[in-house]
């Protein structure tokens, strides 16, 4: 029995050769102004002054629970059990960043950021990093495409929320607004607009820990490694939990549901991202 718990930022997650598949049973995109403002405040709070320079400190994305063998490099698909709202929100944010870098003629930076949205497999074939088993053409054409189709209009409440999230980040990252906000928080710190955009691109951490329970049955939820992992989740030091499949989490599916709903949802609320 082996669990892999990775404290990881969303940038790390989207840099990996992974396709995050949102199952049909997951709820539609639901974030509105309150959640977006809270995320924005968290991002600003993670900016620190080091050596008289503004830098993005370590920033955890909250619980991201995936199903798939993380050692399997041939199959890039990972089913998203928890965390789809954040994955979609950050995809929207990176789409805005990519467009803004292009606007200030930083084409290379625009391309680099867009690689967090569209990746390439080992054969050079492009794939979207976040996909849904329920077709979302508006999300694909209005958010994920490098050359965005701005003629696409929302037709559902979910699509209206997706567009509202795009407009939210577009407004927050507009040159006058972001430089004014950073100047208010960090008086005396001079920053170009390009560097300000890079600041919101550069949240990263890569350390991880493997929790093992060799010799213990999956029906036993008192396994020492499992309990240590839960303690890390409750303490807010684990941002991502990856298991090969849900049977590796536990053999009693009622208890598995209890743990994923109770502990992981509570953890998400604790650092609210």
In this structure, the strands spanning 53-56 and 47-50 are: antiparallel
* Confidence label for 46 from pLDDT (cuts 50, 70 and 90): confident
Highest mean pLDDT out of 12-16, 55-59, 132-136, 174-178: 174-178
Question: Are residues 58 and 46 in contact, defined by beta-carbon separation less than 8 angstroms?
Answer: yes
Number of helices and strands (H, E) in the chain?
A: 12, 11
Those residues with Cβ within 8 angstroms of residue 179's Cβ, 6 or more apart along the chain or in another chain: 191, 193, 196
Closest C-alpha to 239, from 4, 1, 2: 4
Residues 21-44, mean pLDDT to the nearest whole number:
90
Q: What predicted TM-score, i.e. pTM, was given to this entire model?
A: 0.70
* CA separation for the pair 35, 201 (Å, rounded): 19
What percent of the chain shows pLDDT beyond 70? 73
- Residue 50's φ and ψ, nearest 5 degrees, are -130, 130
Domain range for 113 is 2-271
Which token pair is 238? 């684990």
Would you state the structure tokens that stand for residue 141, as one six-digit string?
Answer: 């054409």
Instruction: Please give the residue that has the higher pLDDT: either 261 or 231.
Output: 231
**What average pLDDT does range 58-73 have in this prediction?**
64
User: Which SS3 state, helix, strand or coil, does residue 133 take?
Assistant: coil
Cα gap 22→18, rounded to integer Å: 13
Number of domains in the chain: 1
What local confidence, expressed as pLDDT, does residue 4 receive?
57
Q: What would the two tokens of residue 63 be?
A: 């619980």
Predicted confidence at residue 229, as pLDDT, reads: 76
pLDDT of residue 83: 78
pLDDT(271) > 50: no
48 sits in the region (left: phi over 0; alpha: psi -120 to 50; else beta) called: beta
Mean pLDDT, rounded, of the chain: 79
Q: How confident is residue 56, by pLDDT bands cut at 50, 70 and 90? A: confident
Task: Tell me: pLDDT of 39 over 70.
Answer: yes
pLDDT, tens digit, 9 for 90 and up, residues 205-215: 333 455 666 67
**pLDDT greater than 90 at residue 233:** no
Q: What is the mean pLDDT of residues 129-139?
A: 87
pLDDT tens digits, 77-113: 788 877 788 889 999 999 999 999 999 999 999 998 9
- Helix axes of 107-114 and 193-201: crossing angle, nearest 10 degrees: 20
CB-CB neighbours of 255 under 10 Å: 13
* Dist. CA 200–CA 214, nearest whole Å: 41
Q: Are 142 and 152 in contact (CB under 8 A)?
A: yes
**119 near 126, Cβ under 8 Å?**
yes
pLDDT digits (tens, 9 = 90+) for 161-189: 999 999 999 999 999 999 999 999 999 88
pLDDT of residue 14: 74
Among the ranges given (28-37, 111-120, 256-265), the one the predictor scored with the smallest mean pLDDT: 256-265
């Amino acid at each position: 029995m082996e669990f892999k718990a990775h404290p990881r930022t969303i940038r790390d997650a989207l840099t990996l050769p992974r396709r995050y598949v949102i199952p049909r049973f997951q709820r539609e995109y639901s974030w509105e102004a309150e959640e977006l403002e809270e995320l924005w405040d968290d991002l600003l709070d993670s900016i620190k002054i080091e050596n008289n320079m503004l830098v993005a400190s370590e920033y955890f994305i909250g619980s991201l629970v995936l199903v798939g063998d993380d050692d399997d490099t041939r199959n890039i698909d990972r089913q998203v059990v928890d965390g789809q709202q954040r994955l979609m929100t950050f995809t929207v944010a990176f789409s805005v960043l990519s467009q803004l870098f292009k606007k200030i003629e930083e084409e290379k930076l625009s391309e680099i950021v867009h690689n967090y949205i569209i990746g390439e497999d080992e054969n050079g074939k492009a794939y979207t990093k976040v996909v849904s088993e329920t077709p979302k053409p508006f999300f694909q054409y209005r958010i994920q495409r490098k050359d965005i189709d701005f003629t696409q209009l929302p037709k559902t409440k979910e699509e209206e929320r997706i567009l509202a999230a795009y407009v939210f980040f577009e407004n927050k990252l507009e040159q006058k607004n972001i430089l004014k906000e950073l100047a208010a928080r960090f008086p005396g710190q001079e920053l170009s607009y390009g560097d300000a955009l890079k600041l919101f691109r550069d949240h990263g951490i890569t350390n991880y820990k493997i929790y093992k329970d060799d010799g213990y049955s999956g029906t036993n939820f008192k396994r020492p490694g499992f309990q240590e992992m839960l303690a890390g989740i409750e303490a807010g030091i684990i941002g991502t939990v990856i298991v090969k499949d849900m049977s590796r989490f536990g053999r009693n599916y009622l208890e598995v549901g209890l743990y994923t709903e109770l502990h992981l949802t509570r953890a998400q609320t604790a650092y609210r991202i």
